[in-house]
């Protein structure tokens, strides 16, 4: 069995990175992207979302893409679901993990899924019940993500108490893991430490926490280091910094996976990811996505030769 990395990165480019693009990425290209990510040694891949095509046209081919992704047995293959219907589709597809999002900001939650926080919590409970109805060996991991944990473009500041209320509800409803998302990229290192520590006090040390960071204001990697200092060892990131939030116009996407991997490895923390192979994802993306959507310091500067062996 391969040695477990010090830090686990979930690659969210195939789902969060593509969902808001105004261009449809061909199914073949999505599958090639997932193949390259898996070949680089990624342990977890957010491969798509089970939503109606009229809502998110990018995932009209999610069944085909997910079937292809699940052929990669070395990685946990997950999917975002907005409700129990989506969860039922994901379970039928055989996904390894289900991701369900509730915003700490009431306004953002209504804008994002057209439901109140309480209504969305009822949806999460229904998803938990659907998973529990499966045979024990076929139950996917269930992660409850808290969007706008560090600020909201619609409401502004989000209180620590609001984040902790959702975290507590997730635990009571049976979440296997909780994700804290800087959905619009307003976090600072100080705020990362504050919210992580508050949520940990609320839910207990036995609950696994992860961070989902965006780089809207250029603080993404600094916030990742703050997360490390607060004990986080699971992070979401997207190749070439894909992504963004429709409720934060002009916002940059997720933190760049390539840059995060390089930084962590240079800090002496193993990720289990082959950076050279991961860099090859840019070629696939560049054939289908406008350059304005692709970022990354390593892609601009190249991996320094003197550091390549260490990276």
List, by residue number, the catalytic residues.
Answer: 245
Identify the bridge partners of residue 44 per DSSP, sorted by sequence position: 10, 76
Rounded CA gap, 275 and 32, in Å? Answer: 17
The half-sphere exposure of 78 on its side-chain side, counting CA atoms within 13 A, is 25
CB 237 within 8 A of CB 9: yes
Give the Å distances, CA to CA, from 309 to 38, 296, 305. 21, 20, 8
Residue keyed to tokens 């507590």: 168
- Closest residue by Cα to residue 187 from 143, 129, 232, 137: 232
44-49 and 8-11: which strand pairing? parallel
Q: Mutual orientation of helices 84-93 and 117-132 as an angle, nearest 10°?
A: 30
**Could you tell me which residues come within 8 angstroms of residue 176 by beta carbon, excluding any fewer than 6 positions away?**
141, 142, 143, 208
| Buried b / exposed e along 54-80 (16+ C-beta atoms within 10 A) | eebebbebbeebbebbbebeebbbbbb
CB 245 within 8 A of CB 214: yes
Identify the bridge partners of residue 208 per DSSP, sorted by sequence position: 177
- Closest residue by Cα to residue 27 from 71, 57, 52, 51: 57
């Amino acid at each position: 069995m391969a040695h477990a990395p010090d830090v686990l990165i979930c690659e969210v480019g195939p789902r969060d990175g593509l969902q808001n693009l105004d261009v449809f990425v061909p199914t073949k290209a999505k599958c090639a992207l997932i193949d390259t990510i898996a070949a680089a040694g990624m342990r977890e891949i957010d491969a798509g979302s089970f939503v109606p095509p009229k809502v998110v046209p990018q995932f009209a081919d999610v069944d085909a893409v997910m079937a292809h992704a699940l052929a990669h047995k070395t990685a946990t293959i997950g999917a975002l679901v907005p409700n129990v219907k989506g969860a039922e589709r994901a379970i039928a597809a055989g996904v390894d993990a289900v991701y369900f999002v509730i915003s700490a900001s009431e306004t953002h939650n209504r804008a994002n899924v057209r439901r109140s926080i309480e209504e969305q919590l009822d949806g999460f409970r229904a998803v938990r019940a659907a998973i529990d109805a499966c045979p024990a060996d076929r139950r996917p991991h269930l992660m409850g993500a808290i969007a706008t944990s560090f600020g909201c473009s619609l409401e502004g500041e989000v209180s620590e108490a609001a984040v902790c209320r959702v975290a507590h509800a997730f635990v009571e409803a049976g979440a296997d893991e909780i994700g804290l998302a800087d959905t619009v990229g307003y976090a600072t290192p100080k705020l990362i430490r504050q919210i992580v520590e508050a949520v940990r006090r609320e839910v207990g040390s036995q609950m696994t926490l992860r961070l989902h960071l965006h780089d809207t204001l250029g603080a993404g990697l600094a916030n990742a280091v703050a997360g490390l200092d607060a004990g986080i060892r699971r992070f979401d990131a997207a190749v070439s910094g894909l992504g963004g939030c429709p409720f934060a116009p002009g916002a940059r996407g997720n933190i760049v996976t390539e840059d995060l991997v390089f930084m962590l490895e240079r800090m002496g923390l193993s990720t289990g990811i082959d950076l050279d192979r991961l860099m090859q994802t840019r070629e696939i993306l560049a054939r289908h996505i406008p350059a304005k959507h692709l970022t990354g310091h390593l892609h601009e500067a190249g991996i320094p030769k003197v550091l390549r062996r260490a990276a």
